[in-house]
Amino acid sequence: MTTKMRSSIPLACTAMAGLLLAACNSTAIRVGGAPEASVKNCVAAAARELRVPPASIAADKGSTPRDGVYTVNLKVGPQRRSAVCTTDENSAVIGVVYKRPE
């Protein structure tokens, strides 16, 4: 191996580590454990089920209460009414309902 090649290996490793770290810290991928596809599908399903424009729905937070099932909390409409959406491991929507006020 040449000296030039040896000196470029640590640089390449550092660049790759930086890319991997950036991917792990991305907030666009998940909302509280739910995959991005689940969040998008929940917003689309909520718009249909709750009869509101998709732009008026925001994903608030999410969780994974059981393996393969994701729960995404939503804020709907100008009143920011709470709703919950569940999806399976393939991001298919299981259901969308408004939460009862506490």
Contacts of 56 (CB under 8 A, 6+ apart): 76, 77, 78
23-27, 63-67, 71-75, range with the lowest pLDDT: 23-27
pLDDT at residue 31 in the model? 63
Mean pLDDT along residues 56-60: 93
Q: Find, among 38, 53, 49, the residue nearest to 93 by Cα.
A: 38
Longest dimension (CA), the chain: 69
Answering whether pTM is above 0.85, one says no
Provide the pLDDT confidence category of residue 60 given band limits of 50, 70 and 90: confident
Residue 1 or residue 17, greater confidence: 1
Residue 87 or residue 23, greater confidence: 87
